[in-house]
Structure 1
Amino acid sequence: MADTESPTPRLLLPAIAATALVVALTGTVQIAALVALGGAAGVIAGMRRGSRLVLGIGVTIQFWAVVVAALGALRVELVLLASMAVVLCWDLGEQAITVADQLGATGTGTRPFAVHAAGTLLVGTLCYCGVYGLYQIAGGGQPLLALVLLLGGGTVVLAGTRI
C-alpha cells in the first residue's frame, strides 16, 4: 500500500535521469557504482510507491556512494556533479510525490513540476560554480576529504531545513 498517490511516469523520468547520472558518474569507482545502483533501486521504489521514507533511504545510499567515490579518487568536478545530481534526484522525487499527492491520478502537474525542476537546476548550478570556485581558490592541494566533509555539512544543512 502506497503512502500517497504514485506519481505519473512523466514526473518520474527527471528524478530517474538524475539517479542514473549518479550511477554513471560514480562508475569509475566500482564499489561506489554498486552502492549507487542500490540507492537507485531505493529511489525508484520510493517514487513508484509514493513513499518519501523509501525515497529518502535511496537518496542517502546514493549520497554515500558519492562519498565512497570521492574517497576512491574520483575527480573533484565529478564529485561535485554527482552530489548535485543526488540533491536534484531527491528534490525532484519529493516534488513528484507532492504533485501526485495534491493532484491525484487525474492531474499531471507537468508545468509546475518543470518550473520547480528548472529552479532547482539553476540553484544547483550556482552552488556547483561557487563550491568549485572556492575549491580552486582555497584548495591548493588540500585533501579530497576536506571537500567530502564540506559536502556532508551541506547535506546536513539541507536536511535540517526539511525537519
Structure 2
Amino acid sequence: MTDIDRTPPDFGRALTMGVALVAVFVAAYAGPSTVLLALAGVLSIAIGILRGRRVAVTLGAGVLFVALLLAGVSGLSIPLTLFGIGATVLAWDVGENAIGLGEQLGRNAPTKRAQLVHAGGSVAVVALVGVLGYVVYLMAMTTNSLTALVLLLIGALVLTSVLRG
C-alpha cells in the first residue's frame, strides 16, 4: 500500500505562481522597493504552495497586497493598482483551493478541470469587485465620500463572503 501525496497538484501550483507573478509585474511599475517586497511575498507563496502550507500562502499574499498598496501610494495608477490587488487575491484563492484539493484528493488526482472552474469563478468575482471598486473611487472623487465608503465596505464584505463561501 502506498501513501497518497497530499501536497497541492502541479497545475494548482503553476496557476498560483503564474497569477502571483502577474501581481509582481504590476508592482514593478512603481519601482524597486515595491518589487522587492512583492518578491518576498511571492517567495512565501511559493514555499506555501510547494509544501501545502496555508499560512505561508496567506502570509505571502498579505505581503504582496501591502507591496501593491505601497505601489498605489507611490503613484501607480488606480486601475493598475486594482489589477495587481485582484491578481494577489486570485493567487491566494487559487493557492488555497489547490492546497485543499491536495489535502482531500492527493497531488495526482485529476483535478485540472475543477481548478479551472474554480479559478474562472474567482476571476469573475475579482473582476466584478475591481470594477465596483473603481466606480466607488470615481464616485468618491465627484460625490459624497461617505456614500463611496459605504459602497466600498459592502464590496469588501461581498468579496470576502463569496471567496470564503
**TM-score, normalisation: structure 2:** 0.81
1:50 equivalent in structure 2: 52
Determine which of 126, 131, 134 is the counterpart of 1:132: 134
Alignment check: 8 A CA contact 2:8 2:102 kept? yes
Percent identity (aligned): 30
1:104 equivalent in structure 2: 106
| CA distance, structure 2, for counterparts of residue 59 and residue 14 of structure 1 | 14
| CA distance, structure 2, for counterparts of residue 154 and residue 102 of structure 1 | 29
| CA distance, structure 2, for counterparts of residue 57 and residue 22 of structure 1 | 15
Matched, 1:16 2:12: no
| CA distance, structure 2, for counterparts of residue 71 and residue 114 of structure 1 | 33
1:88 equivalent in structure 2: 90
Which sections of structure 2, spanning at least 5 residues, go unmatched? Answer: none
- Equivalent residue letter for 1:139: M
- Equivalent residue letter for 1:63: F
2:72 equivalent in structure 1: 70
What's the Cα RMSD here?
2.5
Alignment check: 8 A CA contact 2:61 2:88 kept? yes
Q: Which structure's CA Rg is the greater one?
A: 2
1:67-92 CA-to-partner distances (Å, cap 9, x unmatched) read: 11111111000110011011000000
2:61 equivalent in structure 1: 59
How many residue pairs get aligned? The number is 150
Superposition deviation, residue 129 in structure 1: 1.3
Superposition deviation, residue 15 in structure 1: 1.1
Superposition deviation, residue 139 in structure 1: 1.9
Alignment check: 8 A CA contact 2:10 2:107 kept? no
| CA distance, structure 2, for counterparts of residue 31 and residue 158 of structure 1 | 29
| CA distance, structure 1, for counterparts of residue 16 and residue 133 of structure 2 | 23
Runs of 4 or more off by more than 3 Å in structure 1?
none
